[in-house]
Amino acid sequence: MLTVKSAVQELAEGLPEDATWSEVLYRIVVRQKIEEGLDDIRAGRVVPHDEVFRELEEDDEE
């Protein structure tokens, strides 16, 4: 797994030369959210799709 510093360096290398600060920040936030989601999966903090759909259907019926 990459360190934050090396992940940012890798991200910077993949940016176009005319990248804006907004684009840089967007990519960092997206990467952070993906990492948080992967951490949740590893820790078992997930909800099966069937359960999510069942809850959504219950909400629609109310």
Q: What is the pLDDT of residue 8?
A: 93
Q: Do residues 27 and 47 lie in contact, with contact meaning Cβ atoms separated by under 8 Å?
A: no
12/33 Cα distance (integer angstroms): 18
9 part of a folded domain: no
Residue 59 has pLDDT above 90, yes or no: no
Q: What is the pLDDT of residue 25?
A: 96
6 part of a folded domain: no
Residue 48 has pLDDT above 80, yes or no: yes
38 part of a folded domain: yes
Residue 43 has pLDDT above 80, yes or no: yes
Supply the Cα-derived Rg of the chain in whole angstroms: 18
User: What does the angle CA 20 – CA 9 – CA 2 come to, to the nearest 5 degrees?
Assistant: 130
Q: Do residues 49 and 58 lie in contact, with contact meaning Cβ atoms separated by under 8 Å?
A: no
Range of the domain at 35: 23-62
Q: Which alpha helices (DSSP H) does 1-62 contain, by range? A: 4-13, 21-42, 49-61
Q: What is the pLDDT of residue 60?
A: 85
Question: Number of folded domains in the chain?
Answer: 1
Residue 35 has pLDDT above 90, yes or no: yes
5 part of a folded domain: no
Average pLDDT, integer, range 37-51:
96
52 part of a folded domain: yes
